[in-house]
């Protein structure tokens, strides 16, 4: 092991506590991931240890300084994601911070992981983008931010948000209440994401004007959607025929984003249009498929662990099944 030492000076325009955290919690977050010794002395961070680790740590602290200088508040989860990206040879988190998708009430909405950044870039570069991944990876939220931004830039004339309503093979007619009352619980997550990015009153106004349409997937049949940003959410609960129907609604000047989690099927026969469409369309020009993983979960850190635990359980179950079949 090659031993090395380095000192990083915190710029005078940065409050030290913003970089290292209250009670040095951010500094400890970094220190817990490495064997190197990290010591804070005034506005200087001294690092000593393996030369390879020193290089990585220098990149991490430089990245943290850039984020603080750009006005971001650092958190342990954000630092952990930054370390993961740098360790994996991906671009540093500060590059993500430079790519602002949408600003609302002083809040900048950005991709937070390398996987999300690839997703954003795919939406920009392609007419149809599929995003497949577990809960908490920002599949719908990012698509919504891109849609609202496109509407504000007048790249599209309207936003259409849709998702399958009948998630367990039931008919709407068997559910209690008016049509609106029947549909609302399924569509509510789309409203929540929308109102997080627009003033609720303004959002409701755009919906009333038809500039933003939120409707069940069944309402898409027979339409051609021009100059629109169209999002299909929970696409794992579409049948192959529904997926074909939806994709053929694409009109001129439009973009489509299709999101879903293939591990959470509610279809009774478990034949998902999201699964089959990849085999049919992957490799087609102007159509992109993106996979997000547990590494891209940006909710509470326990969500990432839960996703990883379930993935491991699925692998064990598959291994047991194959072993049983081989005997």
What is the tens place of the pLDDT at every residue in 93-127? 666 666 677 777 667 788 888 888 899 999 999 99
- Tell me what the mean pLDDT of segment 46-71 comes to: 84
Predicted confidence band of residue 133 (pLDDT cuts 50, 70, 90) = very high
Task: Please tell me the pTM assigned to this model.
Answer: 0.73
Asked whether the predicted pLDDT for residue 170 surpasses 50, the reply is: no
Asked whether the predicted pLDDT for residue 247 surpasses 70, the reply is: yes
Among 197-201, 235-239, 245-249, 316-320, the range scoring the smallest mean pLDDT is 316-320
The dihedrals phi and psi of 184, each to the nearest 5 degrees, come to -50, -45
Sign of the torsion formed by the C-alpha atoms of 172, 173, 178 and 179: positive
What is the tens place of the pLDDT at every residue in 284-305? 999 999 999 887 887 666 766 7
Domain ranges of the chain: 3-98, 100-298
The CA distance from 264 to 88, in Å, is 28
Please name the CATH architecture into which domain 100-298 falls: 3-Layer(aba) Sandwich (3.40)
The CA distance from 155 to 15, in Å, is 41
Which has more confidence, 274 or 193?
A: 274
pLDDT of residue 97: 65
Asked whether the predicted pLDDT for residue 169 surpasses 50, the reply is: no
pLDDT of residue 64: 86
- Tell me, rounded to whole angstroms, the distance of Cα 111 from its chain centroid: 7
The CA distance from 223 to 162, in Å, is 13
Average pLDDT for the chain = 83
Fold equal for 3-98 and 100-298: no
The CA distance from 278 to 226, in Å, is 24
Asked whether the predicted pLDDT for residue 318 surpasses 80, the reply is: no
Q: What percent of the chain has pLDDT over 90?
A: 29
The CA distance from 132 to 221, in Å, is 24
Going by C-alpha positions, the residue among 285, 267, 286 that lies closest to residue 276 is 267
Q: What is the DSSP string of 83-96?
A: HHHHHTTPPPHHHH
Output Rg (C-alpha) for the chain, integer angstroms: 23
The dihedrals phi and psi of 75, each to the nearest 5 degrees, come to -135, 160
The CA distance from 201 to 204, in Å, is 5
The dihedrals phi and psi of 34, each to the nearest 5 degrees, come to -135, 160
- The superfamily in CATH containing domain 3-98 is K Homology domain, type 1 (3.30.1370.10)
pLDDT of residue 168: 44
Predicted confidence band of residue 1 (pLDDT cuts 50, 70, 90) = low
């Amino acid at each position: 092991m090659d031993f090395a030492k380095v000192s990083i000076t915190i710029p005078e325009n940065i409050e030290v506590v913003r970089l290292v955290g209250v009670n040095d919690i951010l500094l400890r977050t970094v220190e817990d991931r490495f064997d190197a010794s990290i010591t804070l002395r005034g506005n200087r961070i001294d690092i000593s240890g393996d030369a390879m680790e020193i290089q990585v740590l220098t990149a991490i602290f430089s990245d943290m300084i850039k984020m603080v200088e750009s006005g971001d508040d650092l958190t342990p989860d954000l630092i952990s994601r930054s370390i993961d990206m740098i360790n994996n040879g991906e671009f540093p988190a500060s590059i993500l911070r430079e790519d602002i998708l949408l600003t609302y009430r002083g809040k900048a909405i950005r991709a937070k992981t390398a996987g999300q950044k690839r997703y954003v870039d795919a939406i920009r570069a392609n007419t149809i983008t599929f995003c497949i991944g577990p809960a908490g990876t920002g599949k719908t939220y990012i698509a919504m931010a891109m849609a609202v931004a496109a509407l504000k830039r007048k790249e599209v004339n309207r936003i259409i948000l849709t998702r399958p309503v009948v998630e367990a093979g039931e008919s709407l007619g068997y559910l209690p209440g008016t049509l609106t009352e029947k549909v609302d619980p399924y569509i509510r997550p789309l409203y929540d994401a929308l109102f997080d990015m627009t003033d609720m009153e303004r959002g409701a106004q755009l919906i009333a004007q038809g500039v933003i349409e939120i409707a069940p997937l069944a309402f898409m049949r027979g339409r051609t959607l021009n100059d629109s940003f169209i999002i299909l959410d929970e696409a794992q609960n579409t049948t192959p025929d529904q997926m074909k129907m939806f994709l053929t609604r694409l009109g001129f000047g439009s973009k489509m984003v299709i999101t879903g989690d293939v591990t959470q099927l509610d279809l009774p026969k478990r034949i998902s249009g999201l699964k089959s469409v990849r085999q049919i369309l992957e490799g087609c020009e102007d159509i992109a498929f993106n996979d997000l993983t547990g590494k891209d979960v940006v909710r509470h850190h326990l969500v990432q662990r839960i996703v990883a635990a379930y993935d491991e359980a699925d692998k064990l179950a598959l291994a047991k099944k194959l072993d049983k079949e081989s005997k």
